[in-house]
């Protein structure tokens, strides 16, 4: 099976712009979670989607949004970018986390905001 793929791998934007990141989960996985990773804050949960519905949401401002399509692919969008949004954004998929199944992570998208 192909692993979790994320596109693009690297992105450079300027303050005020918006960005859309994409995640393709492992085939058959219905749960997709997004995380922001920074050196100072570690791994912070953004949101989780399961069967096109947002199941959980982290403590991020409304500028951060996401969605999941019927084929389980997911996108996250960040509007009005700020310098502090520079981070590695990780996507993870799972069959169903509720049963303790592991999450499979993609390589991440590294976003730099100038």
- The residues binding other proteins (CB under 8 A) are 4, 33, 35, 41-43, 45, 48, 50, 55-56, 58, 90, 92, 97-100, 102-108
For 7, list phi and psi in degrees, rounded to 5.
Answer: -135, 145
Burial of 70 (0-12, 13-18, 19+ CB in 10 A): exposed
Nearer to other proteins, 12 or 98 (CB): 98
Nearer to other proteins, 50 or 64 (CB): 50
> Coil, strand or helix: which one is 85?
helix
Report the nearest approach of other proteins to the CB of residue 113 (Å).
20
Report the nearest approach of other proteins to the CB of residue 13 (Å).
21
Nearer to other proteins, 2 or 102 (CB): 102
Report the nearest approach of other proteins to the CB of residue 100 (Å).
4
Report the nearest approach of other proteins to the CB of residue 42 (Å).
4
Q: How far apart, in whole angstroms, are the C-alpha atoms of residue 56 and residue 14?
A: 29
Nearer to other proteins, 28 or 100 (CB): 100
Question: What sign has the CA pseudo-torsion 89, 70, 53, 27?
Answer: negative
CB 106 within 8 A of CB 6: yes
């Amino acid at each position: 099976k192909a692993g979790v793929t994320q596109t693009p791998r690297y992105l450079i934007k300027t303050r005020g712009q918006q960005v859309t990141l994409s995640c393709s989960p492992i085939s058959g996985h219905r749960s997709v979670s997004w995380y922001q990773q920074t050196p100072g804050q570690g791994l912070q949960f953004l949101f989780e989607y399961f069967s096109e519905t947002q199941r959980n949401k982290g403590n991020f401002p409304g500028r951060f949004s996401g969605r999941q399509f019927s084929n389980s692919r997911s996108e996250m969008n960040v509007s009005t970018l700020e310098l502090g949004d520079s981070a590695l954004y990780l996507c993870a998929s799972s069959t169903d986390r509720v049963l303790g199944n592991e999450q499979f992570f993609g390589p991440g998208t590294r976003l730099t905001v100038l």
